[in-house]
Chains A and B, each alone.
Chain A
Amino acid sequence: MNDLFASLRVCLATMLVCVVGYTAVVLGFAAVCAPDTASGSLLRAKDGTVVGSRLLAQAFTRPEYFWPRPSACDWNGAAAGGSNLSPCNPALAERAQQAIARFGASAANPLPADLATASGSGLDPHISAAAARFQVARVAAARNLPAAEVQAVVDRLAVAPGPFPTGERLVNVLELNLALERR
């Protein structure tokens, strides 16, 4: 019985400190040091409406936009998820076939692997620089721009994910499309 009371007291104490106190401190720290990212790294249009989060991919289907990686959750920001399919599952081959057709890949010009695969969250905001390069011609044609100009935007926004210079560079699709829009 003594143990039961002690348990209740310790539960209450830990709850107050670790839930109320701890959360409050971290919230306060976030509000002071990183108010922007703490509320979701939201990107706004000139009128102030939210167009998305810099961290989350969103659907792009029109030819004038760069397209993100396939999403198993249809870019749903409120119910994210991956395909959870075995990498041997024929369903993946089917999806890849569709992507190959959509992006117009061929044996001579194979599709970058990130465009054939869904990310774990379904919200991966990036594509590889190779995947962007793969789409430059289409985007340039749809926008009536020289390919070199589009490629220049891509190159400007492409960054290596980590400190290792050997790694392939990545481009944030939403930021890339926004940059093209704002030109």
Chain B
Amino acid sequence: MLANSPFAGSSLAVLVLVGCALLSWPLGRWLRAAMDPQTASGPLARCDAWFRRLGGGATAGEHGWRRYCVQLLVFNVVMFTVGVLLLALQPGLPLNPDGKGALEWSLVFHTGASFTTNTNLQHYSGEVAMSHGSQLWALMWQQFVSAATGLAALTALARGLAGRPLGNFFVDVQRATFLVLLPLSLLVACLLVLGGMPMTLDGAVQATTLEGAVQTIARGPVAAFVAIKQLGTNGGGFFGPNSTHPFENPSFATNVVTTMALIVLPMACVWLFGRIVGNRRHAVVLFAAMSVLLLAKLGVAMACESAPTPAFAGLPVAGDVGNLEGKELRFGPGAAPLWAVLTTCTSNGSVNCMHDSLNPLTGLVPMVGMWLNETFGGVGVGMINLFVYLVLAVFVAGMMVGRTPEYLSRRVEVHEVKLAVLAMFAHALCILGGTALFAATSWGIGTPNDPGAHGFSEILYEFTSAAANNGSGFEGLGDNTVPWNVATGLVMLLARFVPIVLPLAIAGALAGKRTTAASAGTLAVDTPTFGVMVLATIVFLGALTFLPAAALGPIAEHLQTVR
């Protein structure tokens, strides 16, 4: 944010967004080919054969939504259990050069839930609490397979909407891991190594500073970890302060690479969806609607963050460079709001500046991103979240054109509406209910490190982040307590699997319906008008649900500063 140069700031955003949008198209093609191969021969078919051999008997056959969900849930239970065991046994496991000790039980539960659910909310500081072994075996591994779970679920959803069986989860999850995430991670990790990021299994090194003091420098296999952290919309940092840390984001160049890695797969997921359901123009409309939302948030964030730090009002501090509290200089101007918007549009949650120290209205933008949680969204799950809004938008818009609503030629009726609104309600309940509970009780009172409205924002942000499976935080919150660990752990689990299972159930129901023929009288989902309808639905439902909370948090704090 150095030098208040709107040109430099917006050029970075244009570079990253246009670059990613262009990259996402061929990546979407690859996603389709890898996740939903249509050929019975060739290298992809051979890969599939290996996957079926690796997974054993359960990989045979294509299933409906019930069996697919069971497979997904069983796998995730195993993933959670293995992760928790590895974390709990940390002191005894290898790759622990700095001799990290045992973790408290509620933190183990919270971290297990957090990485299983692709949230990566961290109530610990990586370089302080975790051994290299834990970071790699438990956390990095979960970063791969949890993202793969999301990708598998989206593929299944799209198949259902195309009227096909949902597929086989064990095959899908391997396709996602081995054919999509692994090669991309290798590429990004190598780029990051070239960008100067540490990649070593050695422990911390002691430095004697120029002034003769001792500085302990924690290191580790950062590049490999960060690649999948960004690509899989995981966001859990190797170090406590995440991608603000110079080892986790050494330069302008690595910042560009990691910012792009953050958004490119969620963008490609839109194309994957469009390709499988067989309506690419629909995907274009959705992509455009998401982009509009993204740009709107970006504009607000950039404008608000170019205002100087409010606390310095009246002090002799230069005010021409915007708010620099919690920001690094090397990423250049505009990098922080861009990342803050992208990381909360998607469910990534990594940060390259401290969100807690964003100007109040800028801080509202990440919250909005997570409340809506579908502007590209998490790998796979972002599109699934959007699908819930689509069902509702289609329902209302369908009525407005005078027909029984239908989506992709299948009727949206009471069963589908019921499941969709249940998912919406669960999201609101997790955020508002959790915040209310902690704002009113000793579990939450006293944990924020700021008074008044900002303290409320910290609590609100934490539940928002957990419910959106995001993982970023207003990190001033003293959240490594048993109530916080348990409550947000439960919220993350609920907010992960309810919004996967319910949409898959909808897709399963739709898949079994008779298709209706399209005509001039049917609601076309591939027109700009429909894009506007989707946007209006998202923005309105979001605003109506969260406006009071926003008013009492960031908006109140902002208005306090302008008086």
A and B touch in the complex (CB under 8 A): yes
Which A residues contact B (CB, under 8 angstroms)? Answer: 2-11, 13-15, 17-19, 22-23, 25-27, 29-30, 33-34, 37-42, 45, 49-53, 55-56, 58-62, 65, 69, 75-93, 96-97, 100, 105-107, 109-114, 116-128, 130, 161-162, 164, 166-168, 170, 174, 177-178, 181
Q: Are B78 and A162 in contact (CB under 8 A)?
A: no
Query: Which residues of B lie under 8 Å from residue A119 when comparing CB positions?
Result: 244, 324, 326-329
Query: Which residues of A lie under 8 Å from residue B218 when comparing CB positions?
Result: 77-79
Q: Are A86 and B357 in contact (CB under 8 A)?
A: yes
Q: Are B330 and A124 in contact (CB under 8 A)?
A: yes
Tell me the smallest distance from the CB of A54 to a CB of chain B, in Å.
9
- Not counting A82-B325, A161-B251, A166-B3, a sample of 9 additional A-B residue pairs whose C-beta atoms are within 8 angstroms of each other reads A5-B56, A5-B58, A14-B145, A15-B141, A40-B198, A50-B207, A83-B354, A83-B357, A114-B324
Query: Which residues of A lie under 8 Å from residue B332 when comparing CB positions?
Result: 161-162, 164, 167
Query: Which residues of B lie under 8 Å from residue A38 when comparing CB positions?
Result: 193, 197-200, 223
Q: Are B207 and A42 in contact (CB under 8 A)?
A: yes
Q: Do A7 and B74 contact each other (CB < 8 Å), given the known contacts A22-B224, A51-B208?
A: yes
Determine which of B77, B127, B182, B457 lies in contact with A17 in the assembled complex, contact meaning CB atoms within 8 Å. B182
Greatest chain B CB density within 10 A among A52, A105, A177 is at A52
Closest to B217 in A: A77
Task: Pick from B18-26, B313-321, B385-393, B515-523 the stretch touching chain A.
Answer: B313-321
Q: Is B233 an interface residue (CB 8 A)?
A: no
Query: Which residues of B lie under 8 Å from residue A122 when comparing CB positions?
Result: 241
Q: Is B75 an interface residue (CB 8 A)?
A: yes
Complex Cα–Cα for A40 and B247 (A): 7
Determine which of B78, B197, B204 lies in contact with A8 in the assembled complex, contact meaning CB atoms within 8 Å. B78
Tell me the smallest distance from the CB of B270 to a CB of chain A, in Å.
25
Residues in B341-400 with C-beta less than 8 Å from chain A: 351-354, 356-360
Complex Cα–Cα for A162 and B174 (A): 38
Closest to B70 in A: A3
Tell me the smallest distance from the CB of B69 to a CB of chain A, in Å.
11
Complex Cα–Cα for A113 and B296 (A): 27
Number of B positions contacting A (CB below 8 A): 124
Query: Which residues of B lie under 8 Å from residue A45 when comparing CB positions?
Result: 208
Q: Do A26 and B221 contact each other (CB < 8 Å), given the known contacts A37-B196, A77-B215?
A: yes
Complex Cα–Cα for A100 and B429 (A): 46
Determine which of B5, B208, B221, B241 lies in contact with A50 in the assembled complex, contact meaning CB atoms within 8 Å. B208
Tell me the smallest distance from the CB of A74 to a CB of chain B, in Å.
10
Q: Is B210 an interface residue (CB 8 A)?
A: yes
Query: Which residues of A lie under 8 Å from residue B137 when comparing CB positions?
Result: 15, 19
Determine which of B3, B202, B219, B316 lies in contact with A109 in the assembled complex, contact meaning CB atoms within 8 Å. B316
Complex Cα–Cα for A167 and B189 (A): 28
Q: Are A59 and B315 in contact (CB under 8 A)?
A: no
Query: Which residues of A lie under 8 Å from residue B287 when comparing CB positions?
Result: none
Query: Which residues of B lie under 8 Å from residue A33 when comparing CB positions?
Result: 190, 193-194
Q: Is B213 an interface residue (CB 8 A)?
A: yes
Q: Are A120 and B330 in contact (CB under 8 A)?
A: no
Q: Are B217 and A56 in contact (CB under 8 A)?
A: yes
Contacts A/B (CB < 8 Å), 6 sampled: A58-B213, A60-B210, A77-B204, A77-B207, A79-B240, A113-B322
Q: Are A82 and B310 in contact (CB under 8 A)?
A: no
Q: Do A100 and B210 contact each other (CB < 8 Å), given the known contacts A52-B217, A120-B328, A167-B333?
A: no
Q: Are A55 and B196 in contact (CB under 8 A)?
A: yes
Complex Cα–Cα for A8 and B74 (A): 10
Complex Cα–Cα for A30 and B215 (A): 24
